[in-house]
Structure 1
Amino acid sequence: MQEEHPSRFARKFLRWICPEELREEIEGDLVQRYYRDVKRIGERNATRKLVWSALKFFRPGILLRNKFTFQLINTMMLRNYLIIAFRNVAKNKVFSAINVFGLGIGLAACLLIFQFVTFELSYDKFHDKYDRIYRVTNDRFQNGKLIQHGTITYPTIGPTMAKDYAEIEIYTRLMPSGAFNARVNDEYFQDDQSLMVDEHFFSVFSFPLLAGERLSALKDGHTVVITEDLARKYFNLTRSNIVDALGKEIYWGSDKQPYKVTGVCANVPDNSHLQFDALVSYRTLIGEGNNDADVSWKWSDFRHYIVLKPGADYQSLESKFPVFSERYFKGDKVSGSVEKFYLQPLSRAHLYSDYEYDIARTASGKSVWAMLVIAIFILVIAWINYINLTTSRALDRAKEVGLRKVMGAMKSQLVGQFIFESALISCLAFVAAILCVQACQFTFNDIVGHQLSLWHVLSELNSSGIFIFIGVMLGGILLSGFYPAFMLSSYQPVSVLKGKFQRSSSGHYLRKALVIFQFTASATLITGTLIVSKQLRFMNTADLGMNINDIMIVDGPELMAWDSTFVERVENFKYELVHTNGIASAATSSRLPGDRLGRGFDFRISNQPTESHYTTSFLGADYHFFDTYGISVITGRKFVVTDHKVNFDDITVAVINQNAVKLFGFANAEEAVGQEIIDGNRKWTIIGVVNDFHQESLKKPMEPIVFLPTYSTYGPTSIRIADARKDELIPVVETIYKKFFPGNAFRYSFIEDRYYAQYMDEKRFARIISIFTGLGIIISCLGLVGLSSYTAVQRTKEIGIRKALGASLLNIITLLSSDFMKLVAVAILLSVPIAYFSMDSWLRNYPYRISLQWFLFMVPMLVVFMIAAFTVSFQVLKTARVNPANTLKYEGLCGIVNRCT
């Protein structure tokens, strides 16, 4: 009965697929084959073969005439692919786990770094005029030398450029005004940061205003715009009633006149290069008798941003600035230096800012792009592992491929099957990566210092970014799946079923190249990690020229009025401190180690030609400063009590450092003592020379400094205390502070923490690169496991013969490991020039840096070689310990061996 009546599906399929004019002839031939196959392989398999046999007879156009048939075939194929893929995963649990684990780690590392890089590249893009906003930068030259490369310039620059050049649509100018220490209803609030900005600020930048008018909020003097957080803190308001903050009064510092709240803006996003809690109207600065803040061509403490009109070319405008400088500065006649102005696109303000006095939140663009390269390396290494691990099972899948081909499977179907398996493994790995990212997110955020989220980053991507992200992921899946798929599907069924498996030389070389790439990348990353760590350790342990250990910092009494009693009050405060058990000394200064010092641009020496102008930093310090910080005097003397004057114009003496001696052209320190420094109408006699010290981090060169004996209400106090008694002395210092400066908040820190915070970017980069280097090594070793496993399986019979002939385990391990170790050695050698040139470029950013010595490259080479040797030896050992009888008995080789022995 079965021969006379094919299955219902087979009859239905033939009626649908066969054209009317060919049905009788072709249907008869197909049915006869179907009957034979039913007897031989069963009805289900015969029906499947009937489908594929029919496909060979008809053009694709005929098939597409019947959508049901096409969908049915596709459904059968996908169902079959899915079943086989899951069976292979379940059957080879260890292999599948390694594949998923390796790909998962690579994807997780890539996604974490992707968050960081995307965030760093997103700075300021929320502004509507983002692509038309530029900030004005300024280079200053004296005596033919660059003396300042900064973002600060004169208050007249923005308005004058907007007047002179039609390309400029609008401008805004601002000045940092430090901590916004506010008093609201007799309650004090400290440490909020503020900027003084003009009325154009909200026309240039798109910070959302929750309450108030954007165009007029900062138009009048003594007005302030606060953030939503400050509205909550000061007035206990929520967003629903935030408008109630308008019109309220705030007292700032020691100012007797209140500031009126005229606006509330949303909290500043983390990805803004400008950060603030309060915006004070610029008109306030001008209205308090500082008309120079509006018209001065010499007062250099202001930042300017301009918006170009649509279609305007900023480089074309920038080319006109030399004429602008000559017109208003007349060489160095006006400001004492030759001024050159440039425009920096807002898109570069965060990552490409090497400017002095920059108030922007900045990061290293090189470090960010280096992280992206590391992410790509790790992801490529993970994909390479999949290729190696998949091809290592070639022998296991060869017979499966041979049987499939004998049963009528086409190469395209086999390729589809293996691509589908690759996609399944990749999907499982992606799920594992998402779980890993979620588990590590908190720790990663702590390292990078930002509250990142994968979902937030993806939601912020535009359509092109999403397309690129998905394209990279899909491209990786396809590329990592294509090679194994084509290699496995190319086996000849006759050869593999007879047990004659022939290796491809091209595939052999490709696998070697992939391993070399993996370990070149790993060795380069290890070298980079070692060099970054050593440079960071060098900067943290270098001799600074001063002693910053065990020094407690107490912020200045900003709310105290500057009067004739202030100096006496400060001196009494210090006197009581130094007479407290456990405190060695105390000093006040205008700035602290680690702070950027102010500069004077028109210093002259009394006995030198009047056309000689010098630029040097200056620091106000009391007569205990040099002793407290252990700064040694080379010649002359330090300040004494009588050098200090309440009136700044009465000060007549100064101390300079060795760099200033060189700058002013003195032959030696002794010659400098007694000379007069002139700045405008003021003169100071040099009474001493001190040694150079690193006022800022080792990322910047030491500078010439002029020290003046001054006090300030904003000047912090440095207190040297016994290390063992830090916790015990803090409340004692607080009691003394409040005794002399009632009403001022007691805020303290330790100078070591403040000083070494300058290396935060380097510390973060070192931690990130070390973590992901470790992951890269783990993934590379997994790939080596795959390749060594592949080779061991290929040479199983050879191992059995050698063991039967008396070879030891050590002989076999050495034999099979040597090829891999040669690849690792090649990779290590290739990594040296790559690591050298990349790290040499990175170190050039530091004026004080380590030298690239040979052991910095030798240590990573040995580490990589040892890790690779252990990985390969362990994998080969498992195969080498197999009883040779088990590998030879089915091949008829045991008898040959016995006869030979």
Structure 2
Amino acid sequence: MLRNYLTVAFRNIVKNKVFSGINILGLGIGLAACLLIFQFVRYELSYDTFHAKIDRTYRVTNDRFQHGKLIQHGTITYPAVGPAMVRDFPEIEEYTRLMPAGTLNIRIDDQHIRSGQSHFADEHFFSVFSFSMLAGDRLTALKEPLSAVLTEHAAKQFFPAQGADYASMIGKTFYWGTDTEPYTVKAICQDIPANSHIQFDVLISYATLVHATQMEADNSWTWSDMRHYLVLKPGVDHTQLEAKFPAFSDRHFQGDKVSGSVEKFYLQPLRDAHLYSQYEYDIAKVASGKAVWAMLIVALFILLIAWINYINLTTSRALDRAKEVGLRKVMGAFKTQLIKQFIFESFILTGLAFVVAMMMAQLLQAPFNKITGNDLSLWRIIQTTDTRTLVAVAALLLLGALVSGFYPALVLSSYQPITVLKGKFQRSARGNFLRKALVIVQFTSSAALITGTIIVSQQLNFINDADLGMVIDNTVIVNAPELSAWDSSFMQRVESYKHALLQLPGVEHAATSANLPGDRLARGFNLHLKEQTSAKYTISYLGVDHHFMSTYNMSLVAGRGFLPTDHQVDYDKIRSIILNVNATRLLGISTPEDAIGKELTDDKHAWTIVGVIRDFHQESLKSPMEPTVLMPTYSTYAATSIKIKTEDTKSILASIENTYKKYFPGNAFEYFFLKDRYNRQYHDDMRFGKIVSIFTGLAIIVACLGLIGLSSYTAVQRTKEIGIRKILGASVVNIVSLLSADFVRLVLIASLLSIPIAYFSMQHWLQGYAYRVTPGWAQFVIPLLAVLLIATFTISFQVLKAAMRNPADTLKHE
């Protein structure tokens, strides 16, 4: 029986090459899209799953409130929080603390090396996290001060002579920056997997920080720069533990008496750290969970469209197979046998489509990886995916093949042999209605995807063209001279360095600053006007030199900019500050002009407001512009922003390097272009936009393949009618219009139905931006017209071929 099914199936495929080809190609494209997106989604969901304690590991997050207003929603907390939680709550098994240390300027003998990302981590780190160790003891490696753990990449970078002999690197030493005490390598771990939300090349023992800060890094309730991770005991419900945190906050912070803010703590599952984190000061490697699930929905839409094509094309050929069914029933075939035959054909077509899909996915793998920025491999994903997920995906594909084959099988097997053999078979109204409904579903999905693509593209263009309140184009950032000593001559040396830069051809401006556009700024707490002590505020602050505003073309609204005399070697002697307009509003100052001359204080220092500048986007347009204070500071950790002309970038950079090395010998010259780094904030959005655009195009192609098949078959079925109409005087235009009208009407209905779907979906997506476009009627009408135009062209091309035929030939054939 199986052999007979197989023979009949391949005979029908060969006999109807066009329809079989359209079905296989359409399903192939749909399955290829699903395979590619499945890789992407599976990889994004795999973050941190290699940790043995992932299901019991949580990170502590913290909301801070002043005057009932949320002022900070972040992952940073105070050093004493983790230890206190372990003491207060027996539900917690262990904890670990982290503090980011940036990139390290490493000195080994007379060689200077720039490390990758580094953190201070306590001795519990490798107990909480399951990073693989290559050499050294994971439980004691970070116990002593001045201890370090390197990844294999950093180990080979620091000690290349040892090659892969990691055991020989244990006990070796290096110096960090200008430190005079060496750090000892206590362990080497494997390179951190790309799907880890924590990334690092070097870990420095947290005990080093505790020793350097005279225990403040261990017991402070006000120093806010620590990340805490908790491992709960087996069986503990984290929501019940979290419910005890308000009492913990009241007990240790006494409202806002200790930190100046009302502290609220929460637990975030480690599984959510990558995809569901919209926190300030986050060290996690994050992506948008919304975008990931949206990609999966797009893939399912495309597959749905492809399966609908199969159903429509198969049932539209009912007349061709009616006699076959009639003869089979006369020869004794049962309805169940016929259903099995047609479902078997569906599985054969799906199998062939899957082969096509695998080949397409393999061909598109490299360009897809370039778009996603991930090193994905279908085979690697299959090997690393758990059996349950693979079974679920396989079941989905089998279910799709079964469902898409079952209805046509049911329709075809239900023909009455006497009726069809007499040639009196007619299409059912119910079958026609279902085909029309399925076409509407197809094009509703396609039109909604087009609308979404347009709005995403418009938002991304809005981001690129937005007025940031400063100009970041053509700005080269040269890293700070970290190996220079901070002394009374440093400020003058920086001034001389900037002056020398301005003498170089192609250099227009130069300035130094503690932070760069795109950085999350630190915040100052308990700030208030000197004459107002009742209300205290939190304001972001940015340390800059007196050239910063002119370098970034920032607009002064009132007062003056910084002068060289505003800078002081001793921070406590700084007296002048500049606010942005937002900060004046927060402080209750009615106009920018009124702010000039007023004093701002944190009860330890007092500064005079000398100027007010226009608000500017320090971070991406996802974040609102914050109240900010600019302070005139210099630092050995302040990078240099250099505005250049772009006619001869290579020559200009060489001149800048020579100047830098002249003034800061021993420091490595490292640079990047600011706009590239600033735009990294939108990497996830740009990736989402590209993927949506590509797969929307695939959805339209698949839908049009179905229209080609349906319109072509309709034209064949109405060949005799076309010939008669032409003899009676109908023009080609009349015939094309007549045969296309039904399809165009269906596409128009689908386009209208897509509008509310697209509107509510995109409104949800746009909520992630503090500054966003407002979709107008054009964003919804253009996709409607585009879908109509594409569908009309597709249908008309097929119908036109039938309408152009000689009626004598068609009627003779009939």
TM-score where L is the length of structure 1: 0.89
Residue among 53, 56, 75 paired with 1:129: 53
User: How far did residue 710 of structure 1 move?
Assistant: 0.6
Kindly indicate whether residue 39 of structure 2 is the aligned counterpart of residue 115 of structure 1: yes
Query: What's 2:332 paired with?
Result: 408
Query: What's 1:853 paired with?
Result: 776
Between 751-760 and 526-535, the greater mean CA deviation after superposition? 751-760
Query: What's 1:691 paired with?
Result: 614
Kept in 2: contact 1:392–1:789 (CA 8 A): no
Query: What's 1:365 paired with?
Result: 289
Kindly indicate whether residue 542 of structure 2 is the aligned counterpart of residue 542 of structure 1: no
User: How far did residue 423 of structure 1 move?
Assistant: 1.3
Query: What's 1:777 paired with?
Result: 700
Counterpart of 2:647 in 1: which secondary structure? helix
Kept in 2: contact 1:552–1:748 (CA 8 A): yes
User: How far did residue 191 of structure 1 move?
Assistant: 4.3
Between 262-271 and 560-569, the greater mean CA deviation after superposition? 560-569
User: How far did residue 878 of structure 1 move?
Assistant: 2.2
Counterpart of 1:856 in 2: which secondary structure? helix
Kindly indicate whether residue 389 of structure 2 is the aligned counterpart of residue 503 of structure 1: no
Kindly indicate whether residue 509 of structure 2 is the aligned counterpart of residue 585 of structure 1: yes
User: How far did residue 408 of structure 1 move?
Assistant: 2.6
User: How far did residue 239 of structure 1 move?
Assistant: 8.5
Query: What's 1:441 paired with?
Result: 365
Counterpart of 2:761 in 1: which secondary structure? helix
Query: What's 2:150 paired with?
Result: 226
User: How far did residue 801 of structure 1 move?
Assistant: 2.0
Between 341-350 and 782-791, the greater mean CA deviation after superposition? 782-791
Residue among 376, 384, 388 paired with 1:464: 388
- Residues 293-442 of structure 1: pairs in structure 2 closer than 5 A: 293-442=217-366
Kept in 1: contact 2:622–2:769 (CA 8 A): yes
User: For 1:134 and 1:618, how far apart are their aligned partners in 2?
Assistant: 31
Deviations 1:193-221 (A, max 9, x none): 10111001111111111111121110001
TM-score where L is the length of structure 2: 0.98
- Residues 799-838 of structure 1: pairs in structure 2 closer than 5 A: 799-838=722-761
User: How far did residue 573 of structure 1 move?
Assistant: 0.6
Between 192-201 and 744-753, the greater mean CA deviation after superposition? 744-753
- Distance change (3 Å), C-alpha of 1:289 and 1:850: closer
User: For 1:265 and 1:619, how far apart are their aligned partners in 2?
Assistant: 37
User: How far did residue 881 of structure 1 move?
Assistant: 2.6
- Distance change (3 Å), C-alpha of 1:786 and 1:392: farther
User: For 1:443 and 1:680, how far apart are their aligned partners in 2?
Assistant: 57
- How well do the aligned residues superpose, as a CA RMSD in angstroms? 1.5
Query: What's 2:719 paired with?
Result: 796
Counterpart of 1:708 in 2: which secondary structure? strand
User: For 2:118 and 2:579, how far apart are their aligned partners in 1?
Assistant: 33
Kept in 1: contact 2:22–2:709 (CA 8 A): no
Kept in 2: contact 1:644–1:651 (CA 8 A): yes
Counterpart of 1:334 in 2: which secondary structure? coil
Kindly indicate whether residue 587 of structure 2 is the aligned counterpart of residue 664 of structure 1: yes
User: How far did residue 786 of structure 1 move?
Assistant: 2.3
* Fraction of identical pairs, as percent: 61
- Residues 174-189 of structure 1: pairs in structure 2 closer than 5 A: 174-189=98-113
Deviations 1:126-179 (A, max 9, x none): 111111111111111111111111111100000001100111110111100000
Deviations 1:84-137 (A, max 9, x none): 222222233332222211111000001100011111111111111111111111
- Residues 875-890 of structure 1: pairs in structure 2 closer than 5 A: 875-889=798-812
Kept in 2: contact 1:183–1:253 (CA 8 A): yes
**Letter of the structure 2 residue corresponding to residue 604 of structure 1:** H
Counterpart of 1:307 in 2: which secondary structure? strand
- Distance change (3 Å), C-alpha of 1:623 and 1:454: same
Residue among 754, 758, 780 paired with 2:681: 758
5+ residue gaps in structure 1? 1-76, 892-901
- Aligned pairs, how many? 814
Kindly indicate whether residue 210 of structure 2 is the aligned counterpart of residue 276 of structure 1: no
Kindly indicate whether residue 667 of structure 2 is the aligned counterpart of residue 744 of structure 1: yes
User: For 2:325 and 2:109, how far apart are their aligned partners in 1?
Assistant: 83
Between 456-465 and 230-239, the greater mean CA deviation after superposition? 230-239
User: For 2:163 and 2:692, how far apart are their aligned partners in 1?
Assistant: 41
**Letter of the structure 2 residue corresponding to residue 450 of structure 1:** N
Residue among 633, 644, 649 paired with 1:721: 644
User: For 1:135 and 1:748, how far apart are their aligned partners in 2?
Assistant: 34
**Letter of the structure 2 residue corresponding to residue 591 of structure 1:** N
Kindly indicate whether residue 799 of structure 2 is the aligned counterpart of residue 863 of structure 1: no
User: For 2:802 and 2:506, how far apart are their aligned partners in 1?
Assistant: 69
User: For 1:290 and 1:257, how far apart are their aligned partners in 2?
Assistant: 17
**Letter of the structure 1 residue corresponding to residue 553 of structure 2:** G
Deviations 1:691-750 (A, max 9, x none): 111111111100111111111111110111112232320101011011111121111112
User: For 1:484 and 1:601, how far apart are their aligned partners in 2?
Assistant: 69
User: For 2:457 and 2:784, how far apart are their aligned partners in 1?
Assistant: 17
Kept in 2: contact 1:606–1:677 (CA 8 A): yes
Kept in 1: contact 2:162–2:168 (CA 8 A): no
**Letter of the structure 1 residue corresponding to residue 728 of structure 2:** L
Counterpart of 1:724 in 2: which secondary structure? coil
User: How far did residue 489 of structure 1 move?
Assistant: 2.2
**Letter of the structure 2 residue corresponding to residue 479 of structure 1:** V
- Tell me which of the two structures has the higher relative contact order, counting C-alpha pairs closer than 8 angstroms and 6 or more residues apart: 2
User: For 1:522 and 1:156, how far apart are their aligned partners in 2?
Assistant: 54
Kept in 2: contact 1:392–1:786 (CA 8 A): no
Kept in 2: contact 1:655–1:688 (CA 8 A): yes
- Distance change (3 Å), C-alpha of 1:348 and 1:479: same
- Distance change (3 Å), C-alpha of 1:237 and 1:509: farther
Residue among 172, 176, 183 paired with 1:248: 172
Query: What's 2:139 paired with?
Result: 215
User: For 2:168 and 2:458, how far apart are their aligned partners in 1?
Assistant: 55
Counterpart of 1:137 in 2: which secondary structure? strand
Deviations 1:600-634 (A, max 9, x none): 1121221102x421100001100101111111211
**Letter of the structure 1 residue corresponding to residue 796 of structure 2:** S
Query: What's 2:630 paired with?
Result: 707
User: How far did residue 238 of structure 1 move?
Assistant: 7.9
Kept in 2: contact 1:231–1:237 (CA 8 A): no
User: For 1:890 and 1:240, how far apart are their aligned partners in 2?
Assistant: 79
Query: What's 2:124 paired with?
Result: 200
Kept in 1: contact 2:115–2:201 (CA 8 A): no
Kept in 1: contact 2:104–2:176 (CA 8 A): yes
Residue among 557, 567, 572 paired with 2:481: 557
User: For 1:541 and 1:673, how far apart are their aligned partners in 2?
Assistant: 32
Deviations 1:57-78 (A, max 9, x none): xxxxxxxxxxxxxxxxxxxx11
User: For 1:680 and 1:207, how far apart are their aligned partners in 2?
Assistant: 45
Counterpart of 1:723 in 2: which secondary structure? coil
User: How far did residue 457 of structure 1 move?
Assistant: 1.3
User: For 1:734 and 1:768, how far apart are their aligned partners in 2?
Assistant: 39
Kept in 2: contact 1:149–1:356 (CA 8 A): yes
Kept in 2: contact 1:208–1:265 (CA 8 A): yes
User: For 2:633 and 2:519, how far apart are their aligned partners in 1?
Assistant: 17
User: For 2:748 and 2:431, how far apart are their aligned partners in 1?
Assistant: 21
Kept in 2: contact 1:228–1:239 (CA 8 A): no
Kept in 1: contact 2:156–2:164 (CA 8 A): no
Between 842-851 and 495-504, the greater mean CA deviation after superposition? 495-504
Deviations 1:451-475 (A, max 9, x none): 0111111122222212101100111
Kept in 1: contact 2:19–2:709 (CA 8 A): no
- Residues 55-74 of structure 1: pairs in structure 2 closer than 5 A: none
Between 599-608 and 763-772, the greater mean CA deviation after superposition? 599-608
User: For 1:256 and 1:337, how far apart are their aligned partners in 2?
Assistant: 38
